[in-house]
Each structure stands twice: as structure tokens, then as C-alpha cells.
Chain A
């Protein structure tokens, strides 16, 4: 009596069936995440479970940093302190001027009957780690939902715009850097006032100002700041410095490459501007702001 189909040990579905099941499940997750962004809750749950492990993994680096901070010499501290005091003096002078300008600005805004520019609330955060995923330019920072960080908020450091919060976990959030391939940021040339959109290209230290006509007044060394017309980034934050302007007769637009101003690879401290995304673009404000624009162009 033969039973060729009878397995010796009953172990459930065959490996191939399991393989099919789990890979289809994974593909469904991938599609759900990339197309519909359905799975925020699931991801947050996984992040919570993973949090203690992340903390442990980051502990050695934090400890070594603390140790090296402990072993710093008196001379180093003194020079650093001197440098910071000088910097502070310069900043204080700028701050005084800023205060005067802010008051003047408020008065002028009052005259023009536009709403007050919102004062910035910010959350201080540290970059926990970066560059795990070579396909994107993202970092994880140490503040999340519980600290008031929300999706879409701009992130800056001492030198300029770092990027934008793209995913929020309870105690951490993911920031997509301006150099990411899918990131765009509306900017303005500080010197000439020309507006454009700055694109990330997916490599560190390179941004592109695309679709600018030949005649656009842009030179090497120009500073690009946020124009603020998107409603996401507050106006006037430094973003990049123009590195190269290539005017090629073969193409419609000039090729402009820029270097990001923010030092993501150098600094660990960043600020999340939490109040910035609290003002959605309101079409009703278009009319009153129109004369202001004309005035700026004329002057």
C-alpha cells in the first residue's frame, strides 16, 4: 500500500505557499505606503516597540560624546567661550536692529491692513541618525508627536533650512532634507529678488534651480532664501548659495547649481518651526497683499 502524497510530518503550508503569502502581503504594504500613506498608525506602533532598542543602540555614541566633552581642556573651553562671546555680540547688534525692524514692519503691516506675520514657535531637536536609506536623503530627529512636532513643518539649523518633517512618530520624527530627490522649495535670490523653485537631486551638497530663463538675474555666489509664497516655509530663511550658472544656448533654461547652506553633516542641533504650518494659504488674502507686492517691485 503506497501513499505518495502523504507527508511524513504535517507542517502546514509548503514553503512556496508561505513565500507567496508573505511576499504578497509585503507588496501590499509597499503599495499602501507609497501610494496611499495609509499605514501611519502601524508604523507608529512599530516605532514605539522599537524605541527602547533604538535608545540602547544610540547610547554608546552619546556616552562617547559625553566622555569627550568631559575630557576637553581649559584652553579649548576658553577659546570657544571667547569665540561665542564675540559671536553673541555680533548677534545682539543684529537682534537689536531686527527688533526695530519688526516694530516698523508691524506698523507698516497695520497701515496696509494685512494680518500680523506670525511669531515663530520652535522646538529644539537633535539629529539622532542619518543616511540609513541610500535612496533618500533623510534624518531622524529626537522630537515627535508628544513635543508638538507635526507633518510638513520646516526644520532649520543655525545656517539655514535643513528640510521638512515628513513622518512623525511619538518620540521621534523623520525629516526629509532639501537635497532629497523629491524635495522642492520655493526660493528668492536675496540680491535681485528673482523667484524660483529649488530642486533636490538626491546627492549631498547639490541643489538645482530649474526652469530659470536666460535673462534671470542670477550670479555665482548669490544667496537664495525662502520666498515664503508656499505657506510652508517662513520667508527669508537662507537655503543655498549659487555655485555655478551655466547658460547654454542649446537648452531653453540656464543650468543653475547651488550648495545648501545648512550644515546637516556638521551640526547635530536643529529647530523645528512648529508654528509655521499653522497658516494655510487663504485665497481671501490675495487682494490685500497685491499692492504690497507691487510696492516691493517698484522699490
Chain B
């Protein structure tokens, strides 16, 4: 038991290329902008939030509060929502990611889900509170579903976004 049950298998990863990071952020924004319809609309996770969370946890020197804020503004214009609500939610996400960064290293990716879920729920709750304060009607509990699907997306994001950093090991000459 002891250490092995907590700390995941240590990996030596290559440094991330900044181009790849920005490309994934852009791709997440693009997926968010896709015209989702019907049933998928309320199931749809906020891809930008998940990717943002991932990169702030992994690469806090490359990406931080400023980028989160600007992405939030872009989302607000794209969603035709209240200007600033996503900026606020993403700022909360950036803060939580900065605080959580060291703790997450203790767990493997599948166990991150329970750590990520409260963050995404908080972000949704922040938007909900802002809108309710502005006089909007409560949209129903399905409002929180994207946070759950977003948290479930996390292990996939972990594998996909880390893939380019995994060194290709030559089986003939390991190390």
C-alpha cells in the first residue's frame, strides 16, 4: 500500500509545444461553436472549460487567468449570453486549477474526475447566480448536466492532450 496506491505511475514527458496548446484551445472553442441541436444541447459539456482546466493544471506558465478571461468573453459573444458571465466562470476555473495543481499530481487521471466535478459545478453555479440576480428564470436542474459530462470527459482529455508529449520509445533500445 502506502505510496503506490496514491501516486500514479510516474511518466517522463516531453515539454509541450506551445503551438499544440493553442491549437487545442482553438479546437475546443470551435467544438463549442458547433450548432448542437435537441437532446445534445443540454448534455453538451463545455469543452473550452475542460481544456482550459487541463492546460492550467499542466502548464501554468503558458496559460492562466488572462487567457481564461478572454476565452470567456469570446464564449459570451458566441452564446449571445450576458457579456462577462463566462469570463467570470472561467476566472473561477483558472483559480481552482491553480490551487488544485499540486494535489492532482497525487492521483491517476480516472480519480481526477471527482476533483474536477466540483470545479465545473461551481462554474455553472456562478453563471446561474449571475443570471438569477439579473432577473432570469431558473432553467431547471439540467443546467448542471454539462458539468457532469465535462468531468467525465476529463480522462479522455488527459489521454488525448498528453499524447503528443509521450516520448516514443524505441523497443530495440529502451533508454
A interface residues, tally (CB under 8 Å):
45
Inter-chain contact A23/B91, CB cutoff 8 Å: yes
C-alpha gap A140/B80 in the complex (Å): 8
Cβ of A168 to closest chain B Cβ, rounded Å: 12
The residue that B80 contacts in the complex, of A19, A26, A49, A138, with Cβ under 8 A, is: A138
Q: Convert A57-90 into 0s and 1s, putting 1 for each residue whose CB lies closer than 8 angstroms to a CB of B.
A: 1101100000000000000000000000000000
Q: Is A33 an interface residue (CB 8 A)?
A: yes
**Contact pattern, A 188-230, Cβ under 8 Å of B = 1, otherwise 0:** 0000000000000010000000000000000000000000000
Which partner residue on chain B sits nearest A182 by CB separation?
A: B135
B17 to chain A, nearest CB (A): 21
Total number of residue pairs linking A and B with CB closer than 8 Å = 117
Q: Pick from B29, B84, B137: contact of A33, CB below 8 A.
A: B84
- A22-B91, A50-B77 known; A134 and B84 CB under 8 Å? no
- A interface secondary structure, majority: helix
A135 B136 Cβ-Cβ under 8 A: yes
Tell me whether B30 is interfacial, beta carbon within 8 Å: yes
Q: Is B20 an interface residue (CB 8 A)?
A: no
Report chain B residues within 8 Å CB of A50.
Answer: 33, 74, 77-78
Q: Give the contacting residue for B78; candidates A15, A19, A54, A136; CB below 8 A.
A: A54
A23, B78: Cβ atoms under 8 Å? no
| B-binding segment of A100-108, A124-132, A153-161 | A124-132
Interface of B is mostly: helix
Partner of B69, one of A16, A25, A32, A60: A25
Bound Cα distance from A16 to B96, whole angstroms: 10
B139 engages A132 (CB within 8 Å): no
Q: What chain A residues lie within 8 Å of B87 (beta carbons)?
A: 22, 25-26, 29
Q: List 14 A-B contacts (CB under 8 A).
A: A18-B65, A26-B85, A28-B84, A29-B83, A30-B84, A30-B85, A46-B76, A49-B74, A50-B33, A53-B29, A57-B30, A58-B35, A132-B79, A174-B80
Q: Which 6 A-B pairs have the closest CB atoms?
A: A29-B84, A57-B33, A26-B88, A33-B83, A30-B84, A19-B95
Chain A contact residues, CB within 8 Å of chain B: 15-16, 18-19, 21-23, 25-30, 32-34, 39, 42-43, 46-47, 49-50, 53-54, 56-58, 60-61, 128-129, 131-136, 138, 140, 167, 169, 174, 181, 202
